[in-house]
């Protein structure tokens, strides 16, 4: 029963395959084939897999989602997008690539005046025009065998974005990948490849939003290759519909001295899972930040893996969760320090705030250290609002409910405040206040 | 202004305050001294409405109202201010935000409009200067990463801005060096007025050199065992607490 929709996807794949991009590329066909056979064998992941032990995706398997096959068929979807709604989500002062139900829309994208040599191209177009650029990267930062979602994504992806920033290029504006779902029951499957060469500076923003309140399945895999001394700041704002299912994976390879900063805002979806995995080269740095806000029956799972492969790398991680109603938050953070990775400096933190007795947080930091000269630490907390703090605020004339809201907001806002781009900061803040409207009473928080 | 009669307070099954009687009139300064663990902070918490304490006997009347019936924030809006012995750090809430929210809550409580933004800033900056603080503190999170002395100063800053009627200072002097103590004392003295009263809880008489009390009470084992004028503080300093602890009625030391 549970496997029914999985087997339907597999059964329908042969008919679908000719419509997917990259048919003429044997190496890509091979990748898709490996993905398909892994997915046929195992389906989506189950809690029996160690890295999925807190997340049961059987609700996804009970539904059947349908891919949107070609660009022509999304025309009605594009028409349905209200320009003022789009404007709310499309960042000003950025290059913006818009993907609607898993397909690139040139009309909605804004890609004028890209500096010479910088490529921001839809995945489908890049597979036609620039396959040799993609071959060394696609499927290299994450294997289809990683788990069922990556396998599925590898076989089924319909489009995505290829970004290449050549050596020493410092981008003046961020690049936004705006993923929009517009239909019920749609399957949006996208694959992105981001290559930032030596000594570049890039800011990438991935946004997931919906113009529908219904259920759909969005899976997006982004492979990132950061060259020597490259700096990449990557924001992800996941604000899918309340009923949506979301899987998003970011898999990074950092060359020596590369710096990767990630900010993961997991707000939407009924069931959402996010993977952030990075392989650290010598003396490279990563800084992973996360904020998950769960209300009602949301299930928000965040999985990070930091592979210290070489000496002298630094990793920092801070994930915070706020969980209300019957929501459940999951944080699994793995730090693996290879034998060769001496002088590793790693610190991982996860803090969870439970606002109701029915909310739940599962937190599992894992340190696996095979080198002997390292500095690694981790700390996790799961708790409620501090009664001493509430009383302190009450003694300063603030009523209890406002005090609770203030403290909750302050807890979450620490992560929002790390956003360096004003317009994005304001949008994320809006999302926080939207999800915890009682805290919106006082807008002037700072 | 405040009348405490035969106040008995327990935490769980443990009696902590055992029959306190104290009357404070407008404009008076009362010092409460006593050894560690005698119940000084408990008294300050009960007056400001902290939960977890059970009043088993007695009454507390503030401005002719039963104080024990009021929520902590109502007490605060009605003019009771506690400068905490251990001020709490509130990450993510800035000092200036809290000050404004508190001031507006008081104004609303009294049917007044919200404070004008410019007037507020002028007021706050004036008080910051008075307490010889750096304006940067205003924009930092409440007490977060402040040194012990900075926290105490910040409490007095809040007090100076909120202009309460009854100021309870719980060991504000501990952790302050002599210069900071003078600044804080000047801040308190500048707030003295015929309709404002102070309860200065302290362990040492040092603070009372700078803020002269009208009355001194000695608290030991949850009871006021001795009351007197300012000279009592000096006598206490000289003879030590064992002198008064021995006075405790009915219980062997
Ligand atoms: N929440 C509590 N639970 C149990 N005992 C407490 C609690 N608060 C205070 N006490 C006890 O009450 C007594 C008085 O404490 P406190 O009022 O803090 O004294 P002081 O401020 O004079 O040093 C001490 O014995 C202390 O251990
Ligand atoms: Mg005390």
Share of chain B above pLDDT 70, in %: 97
pLDDT at A7: 87
Q: What are phi and psi of B134, to 5 degrees?
A: -85, 135
Distance CA A103, CA A95 (A): 17
Q: Can you tell me the distance from the alpha carbon of B207 to that of B184, in angstroms, rounded to the nearest whole number?
A: 10
User: Is residue A148 over pLDDT 50?
Assistant: yes
Q: Are A292 and A319 in contact (CB under 8 A)?
A: yes
Domain region containing B243: 2-85+161-247
Q: Give residues whose Cβ lies within 5 Å of ion ligand 2.
A: B 40-41, 85
Collapsed DSSP state (helix, strand, coil) of residue B91: strand
A315 and A284 Cβ atoms separated by less than 8 Å: no
Which residue(s) pair with A52 in the sheet?
Answer: none
**Residue A75 pLDDT more than 80?**
no
Please name the residue that has the structure tokens 């704002």: A237
User: Per the structure, how many domains does chain B have?
Assistant: 1
Residues of chain A contacting residue B72, judged by C-beta atoms under 8 Å apart: 391, 394-395
Write down the pTM of the prediction. 0.90
Which residue in B81, B92, B105 is closest to A410 by CB distance?
A: B92
- Which of A395, A444, A445 has its CB closest to that of B72? A395
pLDDT at B238: 84
Pairwise CB contact (< 8 Å): A407 & B76: no
Across the interface, whether the CB atoms of A397 and B101 are under 8 A apart is answered yes
Spatial contact of B208 and B214, defined as CB atoms under 8 Å apart: no
What is residue A81's predicted lDDT score, i.e. its pLDDT?
87
Atom of ligand 1 nearest to the CA of B38: 22
| Encoded tokens for A405 | 């809201």
Q: Is A220 exposed, middle or buried (0-12, 13-18, 19+ CB in 10 A)?
A: buried
pLDDT for A435 equals 79
The verdict on residue B198 lying in a domain is yes
Whether B24 is covered by a domain: the verdict is yes
Candidate of B18, B20, B42, B201 to mutate for ligand 1, largest count of ligand atoms within 8 Å of Cβ = B42
Q: Phi, psi (5° rounding) for residue A28?
A: -75, -40
Contact (Cβ atoms closer than 8 angstroms) between residue A379 and residue A316: no
User: Does the pLDDT at position B32 exceed 70?
Assistant: yes
Closest CA to A173 of A116, A245, A111, A239: A111
What is the distance between the alpha carbons of residues A437 and A281, in angstroms, rounded to a whole number? 43
Inter-chain Cβ pairs, chain A and chain B, closer than 8 A? 78
Reference A331, options A59, A53, A58; nearest CA is A53
pLDDT digits (tens, 9 = 90+) for A305-334: 999 999 999 999 999 999 999 999 999 999
Overall average pLDDT of the B223-229 stretch: 94
Task: Find the DSSP H helices in chain B.
Answer: 40-48, 72-77, 95-109, 117-130, 136-139, 148-162, 178-191, 231-239, 242-245
Residues of B in contact with A320 (CB under 8 A): none
> With 70 as the cut, is the pLDDT of residue B61 above it?
yes
Q: Which has the higher per-residue pLDDT, A360 or A76?
A: A360
**A387 → chain B, closest CA residue:** B51
Place of tokens 């060991």: B171
> Which residues of B fall within a CB distance of 8 Å from A388?
88
Confidence (pLDDT) at A2? 47
Quick one: DSSP state of residue A314?
Answer: E
Hey, are the CB atoms on A388 and B88 less than 8 Å from each other? yes
Find the mean pLDDT for residues A237-266.
Answer: 98
Nearest CA in chain A to B74: A397
Q: Is residue B103 part of a domain?
A: no
- CB-CB neighbours of A315 under 10 Å: 24
Residue range B71-76: mean pLDDT, rounded: 98
Give the pLDDT confidence score for residue B251 in this predicted structure: 43
Asked if A392 lies within 8 A of B87 by C-beta distance, the reply is yes
The percent of residues in chain A predicted with pLDDT above 90, rounded, is 89
Structure tokens at B3: 């009348």
Residue A446: what pLDDT?
41
pLDDT tens across A95-113, in order? Answer: 999 999 999 999 999 999 9
Cβ-in-10-Å burial (0-12, 13-18, 19+) of A445 comes to middle
A73, pLDDT greater than 70: no
- For residues A65 and A216, is the Cβ–Cβ distance under 8 A? yes
HEC profile of A352-421: EEECCCCCEEEEEEEEEECCCCCEEEEEEEEECCCHHHHHHHHCCCCCHHHHHHHHHHHHHHHHHCCCCC
Residue B216 burial (CB < 10 Å; 0-12/13-18/19+)? buried
Q: Which atom of ligand 1 sits closest to the CA of residue B34?
A: 22
ipTM: 0.95
A349: helix, strand or coil:
strand
B67 found inside a domain: yes
Number of H helices, E strands in chain A: 11, 20
Residue B35 alpha carbon, nearest atom of ligand 1: 22
pLDDT at A291 over 50: yes
With respect to residue B230, please indicate whether it lies within any of the assigned structural domains: yes
Q: How far apart are alpha carbons A283 and A229 in whole angstroms?
A: 10
> 3-state SS of A249-275?
EEEEEECCCCEEEEEEEECCCCEEEEE
CA-to-CA separations, B88 to A380, B58, B84, B155, in angstroms, rounded: 21, 30, 8, 10
Q: How far apart are CA B75 and CA B95, in angstroms?
A: 21
| Spatial distance between the Cα atoms of A117 and A19, rounded to a whole number of angstroms | 30
Range from A3-12, A187-196, A348-357, B110-119 carrying the lowest mean pLDDT: A3-12
Residue A72's pLDDT band (cuts 50, 70, 90): low
Closest residue by Cα to residue A410 from A386, A378, A380: A386
Predicted confidence (pLDDT) per residue in B108-129, tens digit: 999 999 999 999 999 999 999 9
Cα B162 to averaged position of ligand 2 atoms, centre (Å)? 23
Q: Does A385 touch chain B (CB under 8 A)?
A: no
Distant-in-sequence contacts of B60-68, Cβ < 8 A, 24+ apart: B60/B2, B60/B3, B60/B4, B60/B5, B60/B7, B61/B2, B61/B3, B61/B5, B62/B1, B62/B2, B62/B3, B62/B166, B63/B1, B63/B165, B67/B2
Query: CB–CB of A410 and B102 under 8 A?
Result: no
Sequence length of chain B is 253
How far is it, in rounded angstroms, from Cα B40 to Cα B202?
9
Q: To probe the interface with A, which of B67, B74, B89, B93 has the most A CB atoms within 10 Å?
A: B93
Partner residue opposite A399 with nearest CB, options B73, B97, B106? B73
- Report CA(B11)–ligand 1 centroid distance (Å): 9
> Which residues from chain A sit within 8 angstroms of residue B87, using beta carbons?
392
What was the pLDDT predicted at B247?
56
Contacts of A444 in chain B (CB under 8 A): 97
What CATH number is given to the structural domain containing B236? 3.40.50.300
Cβ within 8 Å of residue B240, ≥6 positions away: none
Q: Do A391 and B93 touch (CB under 8 A)?
A: no
- How much is the pLDDT for A1? 42
Which residues, in sequence order, are bridge partners of residue A365?
A333
Which residues of chain B neighbour A397 with C-beta distances below 8 Å?
Answer: 73, 76-77, 101-103, 105-106, 109, 162
Q: Which two tokens stand for residue B11?
A: 């935490």
User: Is residue A303 classed as helix, strand or coil in its secondary structure?
Assistant: strand
CB atoms within 10 A of CB A316: 16
pLDDT above 60 for B250: no
Q: Does the pLDDT value for residue B15 go beyond 70?
A: yes
Distance B42 CA to ligand 1 centre (A): 6
The reply to whether residue B92 touches residue A398, judged by beta carbons under 8 angstroms, is no
Mutate to test the interface with B, among A395, A407, A418, A443 (most CBs of B within 10 A): A395
pLDDT tens for residues A394-445? 999 999 999 999 999 999 999 999 999 999 999 999 889 887 766 444 545 4
């Amino acid at each position: 029963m549970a496997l029914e929709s999985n087997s339907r996807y597999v059964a329908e794949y042969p008919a679908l395959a000719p419509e997917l991009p990259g048919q003429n590329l044997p190496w890509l066909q091979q990748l898709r084939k490996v993905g398909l056979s892994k997915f046929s064998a195992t389906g989506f992941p189950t809690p029996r897999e160690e890295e999925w032990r807190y997340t049961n995706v059987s609700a996804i398997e009970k539904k059947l989602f349908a891919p949107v096959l070609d660009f022509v068929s999304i025309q009605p979807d594009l028409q349905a997008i209200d320009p003022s709604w789009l404007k709310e989500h499309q960042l000003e002062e950025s290059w913006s690539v818009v993907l609607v139900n898993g397909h690139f829309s040139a009309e909605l994208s804004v890609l004028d005046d890209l500096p010479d040599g910088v490529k921001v191209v839809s995945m489908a177009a890049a597979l036609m025009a620039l396959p040799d650029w993609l071959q060394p990267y696609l499927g290299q930062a994450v294997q289809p065998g990683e788990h069922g979602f990556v396998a599925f994504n590898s076989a089924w992806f319909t489009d995505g974005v290829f970004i290449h920033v050549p050596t020493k290029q410092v981008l003046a504006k961020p690049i936004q990948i705006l993923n929009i779902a517009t239909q019920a029951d749609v399957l949006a499957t996208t694959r992105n490849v981001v290559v930032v060469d030596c000594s570049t500076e890039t800011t990438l923003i991935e946004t997931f939003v919906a113009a529908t309140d219904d259920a759909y399945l969005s899976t997006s895999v982004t492979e990132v290759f950061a060259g020597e001394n490259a700096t990449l700041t990557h924001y992800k704002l996941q604000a899918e519909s309340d009923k949506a299912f979301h899987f998003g994976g970011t898999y990074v390879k950092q060359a020596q001295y590369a710096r990767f900063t990630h900010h993961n805002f997991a707000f939407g979806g009924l069931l959402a899972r996010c993977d952030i995995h990075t392989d650290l080269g010598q003396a490279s740095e990563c800084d992973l930040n996360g904020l998950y806000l769960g209300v009602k029956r949301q299930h928000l799972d965040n999985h990070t893996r930091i592979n210290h492969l070489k000496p002298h790398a630094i990793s920092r991680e801070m994930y915070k969760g706020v969980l209300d109603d019957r929501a459940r938050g999951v944080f699994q953070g793995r730090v693996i320090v290879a034998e060769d990775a001496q002088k590793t400096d790693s610190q991982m933190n996860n803090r969870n705030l439970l606002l109701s007795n029915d909310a739940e947080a599962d937190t599992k930091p894992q340190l696996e250290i095979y080198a002997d000269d390292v500095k690694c630490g981790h700390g996790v907390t799961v708790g409620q609002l501090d009664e001493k703090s509430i009383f302190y605020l009450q003694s300063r004339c603030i009523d209890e409910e406002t005090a609770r809201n203030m403290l909750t907001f302050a807890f979450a806002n620490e992560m929002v405040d790390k956003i360096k781009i004003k317009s994005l900061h304001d949008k994320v803040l809006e999302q926080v206040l939207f999800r915890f409207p009682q805290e919106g009473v006082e807008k002037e928080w700072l | 202004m405040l009348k405490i009669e035969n106040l008995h307070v327990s935490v769980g099954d443990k009696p902590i305050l055992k029959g306190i009687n104290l009357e404070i009139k407008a404009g008076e300064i009362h010092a409460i001294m006593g050894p560690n663990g005698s119940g000084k902070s408990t008294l300050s918490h009960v007056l400001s409405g902290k939960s977890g304490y059970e009043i088993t006997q007695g009454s507390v009347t503030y401005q002719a109202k039963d104080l024990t019936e009021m929520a902590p924030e109502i007490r605060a809006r009605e003019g009771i201010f506690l400068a905490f012995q251990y001020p709490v750090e509130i990450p993510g809430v800035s000092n200036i935000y809290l000050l404004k929210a508190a001031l507006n809550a008081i104004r609303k409580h009294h049917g007044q409009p919200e404070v004008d933004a410019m007037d507020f800033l002028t007021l706050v900056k004036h008080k910051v200067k008075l307490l010889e603080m750096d304006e940067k503190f205003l924009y930092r999170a409440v007490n977060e990463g402040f040194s012990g002395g900075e926290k105490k100063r910040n409490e007095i800053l809040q007090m100076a801005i909120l202009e309460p009627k009854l100021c309870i200072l719980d060991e504000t002097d501990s952790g302050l060096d002599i210069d900071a103590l003078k600044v804080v004392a000047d801040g308190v003295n500048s707030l003295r007025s015929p309709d404002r009263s102070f309860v200065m809880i302290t362990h040492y008489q040092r603070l009372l050199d700078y803020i002269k009390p009208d009355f001194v009470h000695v608290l030991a084992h949850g009871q006021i065992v001795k009351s007197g004028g300012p000279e009592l503080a000096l006598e206490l300093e000289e003879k030590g607490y064992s002198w008064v602890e021995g006075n405790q009625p009915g219980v062997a030391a």
